[in-house]
C-alpha cells in the first residue's frame, strides 16, 4: 500500500512515542469519570459548606457559620455519638467472623453448602435486611418481642425505644458484616501454612495458644481487610437507619450520614450548606482511617517491589 510522507512521519512519531503515551490514553476515560463524579465533588462539598444554600437560589456566604451552628446542634451531637457506638460495636464483627470461620473450617460432608448459607446475609440488600429485622423486632408479633415477653413477662419494642433503637439497628448491621468477615477469614485459614501448624503441634501448642501465636499472625492480611471494610461499613451506615427507624424515635437513632441526608434533601428542608458541613465532618473522621489504611498499603507496596 502506498503511503504519503506525512502518514509515514506520523506513524514513526507514534511508534517512538507510544511507550509513554499509551498508559495515559488508557487512563483518560476512567480518570475523567472519576475526577468528575468523585474527586471534584469532594472539593465542591467543602466549598458549599461555607454557604447558606437551598439548592436552587443564590448561595449566600456564611464563612464558618454552618460549623458554628453544628457545635450547638443537639441532633448533631446525638448523631456523632451514635456513630462512635456504631464504630465500636461494629468491630465485634471481626472476632465473631473469625469464630464462625474457625467453626466452619472443617471438611465434613456438605460443609460447602453450609459455608455459602452462612455467607448468605451479605448477598442480600441492606434494605431487605432492615425489613427482616424490623419484622423480627416488631411489637406484639415480632419473634424477639415475644421471646423477651416469654422470658421476662414484658415485651420490649426495641425500635420504638430511644435508648435501644440504635443497638437494634447495629445488631441488624452486624449480621451481614459478620458474614463478610467470616468469608475473609475462611479464605485466610485456607492458606495458612500447614507445615507451621504441624511444627507448632509437635511443640505442644494447641487451642487458643495456637490461634494466638501461630494462626493469627498468618491471618494478618485477612484481619487488615476485615477491619478496613468494617470501619467503612460502620461509618457508611445509612440504609438500615433509613429503613428501620428513619432516625427516630425522636431522632435518637440518627447517624451523621442520615442526618446529613435529612438536612440536605428530605422534607425537613433543603439546607445544602448545612448538610455539606455535616458531610465534611464525616469525611474528616473517615480521612483519619483512610490515611492510616493508605499509609499501610503504600508501605506494603514498596516492600513488594
Partner 1 sequence: MFPRPIATRGPGARALYQIALPVALIIWLFPLLGVALTSVRPASDLAAGNYFGMPSSIAFSNYVDVFQNSPIGRYILNSFKVTIPTVIGTLVLSCMTGFALGVYRFRGNILIFFLFVAGNFVPFQILMIPVRDITVQMGLYNSTAGLALFHIAFQTGFCTLFMRNFIGALPRELIEAARVEGVAEWRIFWFIVLPLMRPAIAALSVLVFTFIWNDFFWATVLTTSASTQPVTAGLSSLNGQWIAAWHLVSAGSIIAALPPVAMFFLMQKHFIAGLTMGAVK
The residues in 266-295 that bind partner 1, with binding defined as CB under 8 A, are 272, 275-276, 278-280, 282-283, 286, 289-290, 293-294
Binding partner 1 (rule: CB under 8 A), the pick from 52, 136, 161, 248 is 136
Q: Whole-angstrom Cα distance, residue 156 to residue 170?
A: 17
Do 279 and 45 touch, CB atoms closer than 8 A?
yes
Question: Which listed range, 58-66, 85-93, 126-134, 157-165, lies at the site for partner 1 (CB under 8 A)?
Answer: 126-134
- Give exposure, 252-289, as e/b (b: 16+ Cβ within 10 Å): bbbbbbbbbbbbbeeeeebbbbbbbbbbbbbbebeeeb
Residue holding cell 435501644? 164
By CB under 8 A, what part of segment 33-52 binds partner 1? 33-34, 36-42, 44-45, 48
Lookup: cell for 81: 455519638
When asked if residue 199 is in the footprint of partner 1 (CB under 8 A), the reply is no
- Round to whole Å and give the CA distance between 5 and 150: 91
Q: How far is the CB of 220 from partner 1 (least distance, A)?
A: 8
Angle at CA 203, nearest 5°, toward 195 and 218? Answer: 45
143 binds partner 1 (CB under 8 A): yes
Q: Which of residues 68-97 bind partner 1 (CB under 8 A)?
A: none
Asked if residue 213 binds partner 1 (CB under 8 A), the reply is no
Instruction: Select 52 or 187, whichever has its Cβ closest to partner 1.
Output: 187
CA-to-CA distance for 241 and 144, rounded, in angstroms? Answer: 19
Is the Cβ of residue 10 or residue 125 nearer to partner 1 in the bound state?
125
Contacts (CB under 8 A) with partner 1, residues 167-196: 175, 180, 183-185, 187-192, 194
Amino acid at each position: 500500500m502506498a503511503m504519503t510522507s506525512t502518514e509515514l512521519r506520523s506513524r514513526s512519531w507514534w511508534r517512538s512515542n507510544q511507550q509513554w503515551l499509551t498508559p495515559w490514553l488508557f487512563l483518560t476515560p476512567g480518570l475523567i469519570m472519576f475526577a468528575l463524579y468523585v474527586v471534584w465533588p469532594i472539593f465542591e462539598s467543602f466549598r458549599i459548606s461555607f454557604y447558606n444554600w437551598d439548592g436552587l437560589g443564590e448561595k449566600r456566604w456564611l464563612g464558618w457559620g454552618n460549623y458554628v451552628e453544628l457545635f450547638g446542634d443537639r441532633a448533631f451531637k446525638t448523631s456523632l455519638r451514635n456513630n462512635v457506638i456504631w464504630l465500636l460495636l461494629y468491630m465485634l464483627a471481626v472476632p465473631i467472623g473469625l469464630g464462625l470461620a474457625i467453626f466452619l473450617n472443617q471438611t465434613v460432608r456438605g460443609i460447602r453448602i453450609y459455608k455459602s448459607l452462612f455467607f448468605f446475609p451479605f448477598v442480600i440488600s441492606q434494605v431487605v435486611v432492615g425489613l427482616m429485622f424490623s419484622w423480627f423486632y416488631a411489637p406484639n408479633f415480632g419473634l424477639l418481642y415475644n421471646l423477651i415477653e416469654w422470658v421476662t413477662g414484658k415485651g420490649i419494642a426495641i425500635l420504638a425505644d430511644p435508648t435501644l433503637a440504635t443497638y437494634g439497628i447495629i445488631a441488624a448491621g452486624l449480621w451481614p458484616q459478620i458474614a463478610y468477615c467470616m468469608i475473609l477469614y475462611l479464605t485466610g485459614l485456607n492458606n495458612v501454612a500447614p507445615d507451621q501448624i504441624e511444627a507448632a503441634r509437635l511443640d505442644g501448642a494447641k487451642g487458643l495458644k495456637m490461634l494466638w501465636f501461630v494462626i493469627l499472625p498468618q491471618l494478618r492480611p485477612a484481619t487488615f481487610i476485615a477491619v478496613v471494610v468494617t470501619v467503612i461499613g460502620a461509618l457508611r451506615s445509612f440504609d438500615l437507619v433509613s429503613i428501620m427507624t428513619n432516625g427516630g424515635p425522636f431522632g435518637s437513632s440518627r447517624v451523621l450520614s442520615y442526618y446529613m441526608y435529612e438536612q440536605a434533601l428530605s422534607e425537613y428542608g433543603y439546607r445544602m450548606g448545612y448538610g455539606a458541613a455535616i458531610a465534611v465532618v464525616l469525611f474528616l473522621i473517615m480521612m483519619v482511617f483512610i490515611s492510616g489504611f493508605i499509609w499501610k498499603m503504600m508501605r506494603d507496596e514498596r516492600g513488594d517491589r
